[in-house]
Amino acid sequence: MKNMRLTDEVEIRQAFESITLPEIDVSDSVINSIKSTKPHSAKKKRAFAVGLIAAALLLSTTALAAVNMWILKDGDNVVLKIREFDDENQKPFEIDGEFDNLIKDLEPGKAIIYYDAAQPKPKNPNTSEILTSYSQPVKYTDLDTLIKEAGIYFAIPSKVPEGYVFSEGDISFDPLPYDHDEILGKLKEETANSGKNGAAVEWGTSSNARSIRMVYKNDRNEKFVLNVFILEGEDMYTDDPWYFKSEKITIKGRDILFTGVDKKGRGKEIIMRELQPGGQRTVKTFEDGVETETVINSYIEYIITTNDLTKEELLSMAESMIP
């Protein structure tokens, strides 16, 4: 097993198809739900997901100090807060290596619900442990089919650099609803009986996308990748110094975060968000015995990455995606 730390690369942002914290006392967690999605490296994607879990569970028991690095708006609405936190107070935990084996032979379009017995236990006895769901992506070679099958609204560039066309893509679909406490109880019992740190159950998926990946290429095999994520809440936590060098640019009233090439060879990246149509839900939370209703927004997050395009070409594409 490997001790995973929070990092923040585009691919690990696709982490797990979703990480769900049940409705809990807000004083014991940064967030009620963390959602992420799937890339090509299971080992990389776990790091981001695990770091967020650790942040959620440990915030009330450490001196973890969250500081806003960037705040992005769409019109008058804050849609993303990229925040850093004190590296010394991070306490990542080990992830069972069996996870890779569980997803290796998973059929495209299927999901698993995974329980990690090694996760930090919540300080509050009324706070439930976390279940993680992961969906195996379905691949597409036709853009119109991908858009139709996604089942959700999302924007694509109406203007791409000359010579670039859609090459391939994939969709990770939302797992079907499940009873958190029931599944948690069964998987905890399974880990207790087997002596393993992890247990999972295979699950079905809905017809709605949680993440979408689209690759565009030209005849010189140069490319850019557009990732689309449906994410709940405005906060994203990172300890990646790459974002200290980012630049915020506003186009048509929407903030876009541009980050250039770094010494590690990571290419250029832009991030922008918009509110998902109908993407609001109200949850009840309890603090000091007082019930509070909290509105949680869902956002469509767009991330475009490339080693081949210029900053100007990236921003031109982003502008073509804004109404």
pLDDT, one tens digit per residue, over 244-289 is: 889 999 999 999 999 987 666 778 999 999 999 988 887 776 667 7
Q: Give 82-114 pLDDT, tens digit per residue.
A: 887 654 434 344 555 677 788 888 999 999 999
Place of tokens 């290596």: 97
pTM of the model: 0.77
What ranges do the domains of the chain cover? Answer: 2-320
Lookup: tokens for 85: 């936190």
State the chain's mean pLDDT as an integer. 77
Q: What is the pLDDT of residue 118?
A: 78
| AA letter at 95 | I
